[in-house]
Amino acid sequence: AQKVTQAQTEISVVEKEDVTLDCVYETRDTTYYLFWYKQPPSGELVFLIRRNSFDEQNEISGRYSWNFQKSTSSFNFTITASQVVDSAVYFCALIPFSKGATNKLIFGTGTLLAVQP
């Protein structure tokens, strides 16, 4: 099965708290790509990061960091010192790569993050 699970439906934090959004994926392919997208109330999906299955290095970009662990099939996203502008729905997504594959994103159900002032 090709699947992405985001078990946290909603998270509420107070500004300046750190928050981690969980993502667990399933795929039978050895090559795949993982993504995180942010969807603010305006509706547009904003691309945040892409990782390929051969690169397990963690990545940090400002207040954002990502922890990719193939052993647990997880690709978690941490926001440090959260801000009200971080309030949005966050989606984890997967593109499996096999012969004949298309560039099709398989999304999780999303996590609604509410950052209170």
Binding site for another protein (CB under 8 A): 4, 33, 35, 37, 42-47, 50, 52, 91, 93, 95, 97, 101-110
Both tokens assigned to 96? 């499996």
Q: How far apart are CA 71 and CA 73, in angstroms?
A: 6
Q: Which is nearer to another protein, 57 or 102 (CB)?
A: 102
Closest contact distance (angstroms) between CB of 59 and another protein is: 14
Closest contact distance (angstroms) between CB of 116 and another protein is: 21
Q: Which is nearer to another protein, 83 or 109 (CB)?
A: 109
Amino acid identity, position 95: I
Q: Which is nearer to another protein, 64 or 97 (CB)?
A: 97
- Per residue in 52-65, is it b (16+ CB within 10 Å) or e — as a string? ebeeeeeeeeeebb
Query: For the chain, how many residues are written?
Result: 117
Cβ distance 78 to 93 under 8 Å?
A: no
Give me the residues paired with residue 11 across strands: 113
Closest contact distance (angstroms) between CB of 2 and another protein is: 11
Both tokens assigned to 41? 């109330």
Q: Which is nearer to another protein, 15 or 97 (CB)?
A: 97
Closest contact distance (angstroms) between CB of 96 and another protein is: 9
